[in-house]
Amino acid sequence: METRATEGPLAGLRVLDIATIIAGPMAATLMADFGAEVIKLELPGLGDGLRGFPPFKEGKPLWWKVTNRGKHFGTLDLRRPEGRELFLRMVARCDVVVENFRPGTLERWGLDIETLWQANPRLVILRATAFGQDGPHAGLPGFARIFEAIGGLAGISGPPDQPPLHTGYPIGDPIGALFGAFAIMAALWRVKASPREKGEEIDLSLTEALLRIIEVLAIEYDQLGHVRQRSGNRNQYSAPSDVYLTADKRYVSLAGSTERTFANNARAIGRPDLLEDARFASNAARVRHAGELDRIFGSWIAAHTQEEAVGAFRAASGTLAPIYSIDQIFTDPQFVARHAIVEVPDADFGTVRMQGLVPRLRHNPGRIRWAAKDLAADNDYIYKELVGLGEAEIQVLKDKNVI
């Protein structure tokens, strides 16, 4: 049995995770990374739907192992009276609950916010939903593509003459997770400041989280009436800034908006004369003549391999990057030097490699204790040590399929 002692700045914090798929669970996982004890409860016999997401190795879900790393895994049917009672006993011993059911679901099960606060007046509860707890769309289902579409991100992604694009990963979920984890810590800062403070209910709309990250679009429309359109890989606020194909049929991405970075980039391709051209005298002017700059820089890059191009720009302190696939990330010397990919203990495969902790803390950094486990792997710990049930009581609950 693994030690229950942990390390990290959130050691001593206990979180109940009853959320599913990615956004809510990942918010809890971020706290587990930094030392919180996170107890994940799933429906007996079924579990979280993320367990059914590919890819698989020997029938084991690999995505699951990352998104829910570092947690204890138990089962509980919250819809049953016995499950409700057990859950409230756990709530009394925890600091945070993370849930992402549609609005009204917990209330139908007799677990409304006032009931939770009766069990623990200082409880912080994160409620992550597609659209929030109220409003005309509150009851609609939500997935990352929904958040990305309605929140405005997909609409500005992709070439102007093609349909909007989603990324190759459901980015709306981890973005929501980051907002969720931050909100929990903000709420806990106040709750922990005084023993007289009450708990907090966090209403996280994952669609609004996507809207929040496209910062300038709202004020741009409000003040200028401008509706931002798709521009492919070309940056709309600096130039040159695009994706280019190299001589060895690989891709690089160019960035930079300041005068210094433009000067360095121009020197990287042997064109210091561009600095004297009035068309390129400022960033605003360069944006107006982005097409010409794309032609100049693109032609030079097309005549060089990815390694040659990146080397030339780095030598000139320019801002060109290779576009990596995951296998290149595993071998990149910067990622290797900083241990960005780490080995994590895993019950099925001994160890597995996944992303390390982000960001780094100097004095109390936390750690990844283990990859996510099988359904009900820690039921004995949860119901014996945390709840205080005996073997006979646990067996009765198992027989009734409550746990």
pLDDT at 7 over 90: no
pLDDT at 4 over 60: no
Question: Which residues neighbour 71 within 8 Å (Cβ) at sequence distance 6 or greater?
Answer: 17, 28, 29, 32, 38, 39, 40, 372
pLDDT, position 5: 46
Confidence of residue 257 (pLDDT cuts 50, 70, 90): confident
Q: Are 29 and 358 in contact (CB under 8 A)?
A: no
Q: Are 169 and 32 within one domain?
A: yes
CA distance 205 to 131: 5
Q: What average pLDDT does the chain have? A: 96
Confidence of residue 3 (pLDDT cuts 50, 70, 90): very low
Q: Are 158 and 85 within one domain?
A: yes
CA distance 283 to 327: 35
Whether residue 77 lies in the annotated active site:
no
- pLDDT for 348-392, tens place per residue? 999 999 999 999 999 999 999 999 999 999 999 999 999 999 999
Selected catalytic residue, list 173, 242, 346, 378: 173
Q: For position 276, which CATH number holds?
A: 3.30.1540.10
CA distance 252 to 246: 7
Q: Say if 140 falls within a structural domain.
A: yes
Question: Which residues neighbour 208 within 8 Å (Cβ) at sequence distance 6 or greater?
Answer: 131, 132, 151
pLDDT, position 105: 96
- pLDDT for 302-323, tens place per residue? 999 999 999 999 999 999 999 9
How many domains does the structure of the chain reveal?
2
pLDDT, position 196: 87
Confidence of residue 6 (pLDDT cuts 50, 70, 90): low
Q: Are 248 and 107 within one domain?
A: no
pLDDT at 143 over 70: yes
pLDDT, position 256: 86
**Of 272, 297, 329, at which residue does a domain stop?**
329
- pLDDT for 95-107, tens place per residue? 999 999 999 999 9
Least confident of 62-66, 193-197, 219-223: 193-197
Q: Are 76 and 176 within one domain?
A: yes
Residue 306 lies in domain? 243-329
Q: Are 341 and 324 within one domain?
A: no
Percent of the chain with pLDDT over 70: 99
Q: Are 351 and 344 in contact (CB under 8 A)?
A: yes
